[in-house]
Structures are given as C-alpha cells and as structure tokens.
Chain A
C-alpha cells in the first residue's frame, strides 16, 4: 500500500514531464494529415476540446499539400445613383506599394482565402453591407455593388518572365455577388 502511494507521489511529482509529453503528442496529432497518423482520430477525440478551449489549436499546412495554381485577387465595383463608377482592387497585392501590401495581409487573407469562395457565400452579403454603410457615411449613394474575383493560372516551366510583376497576361473574371438598391417608391 505504501509503495502504491509512493508510486503515485512519484508520478505526481513528474507532472511537468507528463504535461510536456502529452501536449507535444496532442498538437502533433492535431496538425498531422489523417492518413499519415493512424491514431489521430482517437487522440483528437481526447485532446481536441481542450486545445480548442484554450486556443492552442493550430495548422501548419501553408502552400501544401499543393501550392495555389492560380494567381487571384478580389475587386469591388460601386455604381452611384448619378451613374459614376468606382473600382477598388481590394487584394490586387502586386499593384500596391510595398508597405501597403505588407500592412494589408489580413485583407488578402479574408478576401482571397475566404470571401472569394462559393463555399463561403454567407460572407458576401455582410461584406457588401459593410461597404454600403461605409460609402454612405462618406456621402456616396450606391445603387449597385459588385464583388468580382479575378484569376489566371500559373504556368510551368518556372521562368522569370512569368513572375506576377513582369507577366502581363489576361485575367479571367467573374462577378460572384451583386447587390442592387431597392427601388424607391413615388414621393
């Protein structure tokens, strides 16, 4: 009985070791591809909730398993009631000055990685409504706002002439969301 308590005390005394090993295994399991880590589902079932609750969730799969094969950006077109049109290339990073493109990284993340996608269509309307409010506050009177995605494929073999700041190839584009102002009734 005494040896049992002694063993329990010895283990309790080693809590930093247990914690370090357990955390490392938990985050390894959390981040690994499922097909390469057989015990992932079992481990994640135990450790996933604590990792999420304490905001220790993570992902390290940037540019993988395949890097993006298309160069992309998102633009917005605003048409005012007086017919004037305003275009903003929201994430055309290569056209921005060096400091601005560094500063606007989260814009790129939001628009290129999420807003652009059909799977994330729930973001479209609130995004346009935000723009509408902002423009109205600045004295605009928009009657239509369009979100457009632009893309062109990357090419192989790798060549200096294909770099985005050099290559002047055409962009494909598609208006993926259009907001129009409700008709005004008779006064």
Chain B
C-alpha cells in the first residue's frame, strides 16, 4: 500500500517540480512581444466598427443586450454602465496595453489593460467573438501574473545600447504562468479533437472537403487535387490525429520541434485556405512558449534563487 502511494506520488512530485522550477524568461518574453502585436492588430481591425458593435445606438442596444447576457463578468461596463464613453476607454486601454506588451513596458499593467479591453467588448457583444478572442483573453489574463518583462523589452534594448556593452544576463522567472498557458494550448487542441471525433463527417473523412466547399470561409485559391475524396479523407483524419496527438507528443523532448513544425504547416495551410482572421496567428503564437530548449544552450540565462539551481525534469521546456 505504502509502495503504491509512493509510486502515485512520483508523477505528482515531477509535476510540482515542473511547475515550480524557474525558467528562462526568453520564451515567455518572445510570446509577450508577438502576442502584443497580434492583440494590436485585432484591436485595429475592430477600431472603426466598435460603435456599431458596442454602442447604445449600435446593432445591440442595451435593452436587447440585457436579454442575452448571463452571469457576471468582470469588465469596464461594470463601472461605467451602458455608456458610449466606454468605447473610447476600450480603445485606449487596448492601444496602451498592446503597445506596452509589444515594447515590454510595464508588461503586467499592459496585459491588464488589454485584458480589460477585450473582456469589455466580449461582454458587450458576444455575437462577434471567435476563438482567437478566447486566446487573447486567456493570454492577457495570465500575462498579468507573469514576469514577461525580463527580456526583449525596449527599455533593456536602449539601456544596452547606451551602455555600449554586451547584454546583461537574464534572470530566471517563476514558471507557473507559462505552464498554465502551455497546458491551456494542449486543452484547446485536445478538446477540439474530441469534439470533432464525435462527428459523423469527421469519422467518414468528408469534413474538410465539406468545409472547403463553403464560400463563407473560403480564402485563397486551392489546387483542384485538394478537392478530391481521398485528399479530403487524408486531411480530415490528419486533423484529428494532429489535434488529439499534439497535447501528448509535445511533452516528449525529441518530438517537440517536429510536432511544432507540423503545427506550423497545419495552421499555415488553414491560413491559406480558410478565412478565420487572426486565429491561426494567435494559436501559433502560443507555440513560442515551448521554445525553451532553443534558448537553453545560450549562456545568457542566469539562475537566480535556490530553486533555480536544481535541474528541472526532462520536459521542462
């Protein structure tokens, strides 16, 4: 019995180590930079249409919105009520947050500002949201708690240029926000795969061919050989394999880079064929969080604090 409990405890200890062992700040900082840029693009795409989507004289006036909303969600409208001035607040919060994330300028405050902006427009008109908005809200939320300003910041770049010497070593940072975002990506893929696997069209291999027929999603031209039953079947089952395999294979160190490369090819294909705005860019931005090993050979990262001196588990990317 005791031996059994010890065996069960091993993976829990490994998980605990994986979450609590400080990590190289560069993957998270790189993510913050690119993610901030995508948040800005998302905001600018919405900028002119915000009064129409959110305004009291827009397509969803308060009396209709009241009928549709459920649950209490933290957002700017909690403080302002149905007020068109909130649109200006959303715009400036989003702009300041996006620029701050991009430059690494007060990154936690910037993440908070962007999270407030996105949460507010998400609450005010849920009918315009897509999966990319989920990734933005979640990413911003956990960046609020992360030390993402340790690398790739404008301030650091200017300081280094002024000093005229080499870069200062990076300090290792708490890993848990990065771990949560890594697991979040795995959950998203796994759940998407499970939902698809329950559908008849996905089981029979016709799903991707059917989707490619739909004009509402069609983007750039695709060669005729793609629109054949056999290729449709390959792509449908390939999608299922990728989405269900990613959450498990990504943790095997020797497979990590191949899995990420397959993911990039998969999403690049979707970006070419399908019109889903920023989703492919946002989901692949999360891949940057898995690039720890790329930086591990560099001598610039310096472990700080007692926990950082211990080696992490093999999959501590």
Contacts and interface: CB of A to CB of B under 8 A. Distances in A.
B60 A123 contact: yes
Contact of A61 (B192, B210, B212, B216): B192
Contacts of A65: 195-196, 198-200, 202
Contacts of B275: 93, 101-102, 105, 108
Interface of A: 14, 16-17, 19-21, 23-24, 27-28, 31-33, 36, 49, 52-69, 71-73, 91-94, 98, 101-103, 105-106, 108-110, 112-115, 120, 122-123, 126-127, 129-130, 133, 154-160, 162-165, 167
A61 B195 contact: yes
B52 A130 contact: yes
B264 interface: no
Nearest to B137: A55
11 contacts: A16-B175, A21-B15, A24-B180, A27-B184, A33-B195, A55-B75, A60-B134, A72-B216, A106-B46, A127-B59, A157-B229
Interface stretch (B94-102, B121-129, B148-156, B294-302): B121-129
Given A31-B187, A66-B201, A122 B73 contact: no
Nearest to B134: A58
B250 to A, nearest CB: 14
B106 interface: no
Contacts of A98: 219-220
B256 interface: no
A127 to B, nearest CB: 5
Interface stretch (B2-10, B26-34, B63-71, B160-168): B63-71
B137 A31 contact: no
A21 to B, nearest CB: 7
A67 B74 contact: no
A67 B228 contact: no
B60 A163 contact: no
Nearest to B232: A158
B261 interface: no
B127 A114 contact: yes
The list of the 7 closest CB pairs from A to B, nearest first, reads A164-B215, A158-B209, A65-B199, A94-B215, A16-B176, A160-B224, A64-B195
Interface of B: 15-16, 19-20, 45-46, 49, 52-53, 57-61, 64, 67-68, 71-75, 115, 118-119, 122-123, 125, 127-131, 134, 137-138, 141, 174-176, 179-180, 183-184, 187-192, 194-196, 198-202, 206-207, 209-222, 224, 226-229, 232, 275-277
B127 A109 contact: yes
Contacts, number: 226
Given A16-B20, A164-B214, 9 more contacts: A19-B176, A19-B180, A23-B183, A54-B74, A56-B138, A66-B207, A106-B46, A106-B130, A154-B214
B216 A93 contact: yes
Contact of B71 (A53, A56, A66): A53
Contacts of B189: 60
A74 B219 CA distance: 18
Contact of B227 (A52, A61, A158): A158
A141 B215 CA distance: 33
Interface majority SS on B: helix, strand, loop or mixed? helix
A20 B183 contact: yes
A163 B232 CA distance: 13
A112 B130 CA distance: 13
A160 B139 CA distance: 39
Nearest to B53: A106
Given A67-B207, A110-B127, A158-B206, A60 B216 contact: no
B206 A156 contact: yes
Contact of B74 (A20, A53, A164): A53
Nearest to A36: B194
A162 B227 contact: yes
A71 B213 contact: yes
B194 A33 contact: yes
B216 A163 contact: no
B20 A68 contact: no
B43 to A, nearest CB: 12
A131 to B, nearest CB: 9
Contacts of B176: 16-17, 19-20
Contacts of B277: 102, 105-106
Contacts of B183: 20, 23-24
Contacts of B195: 33, 60-61, 64-65
A133 B57 contact: yes
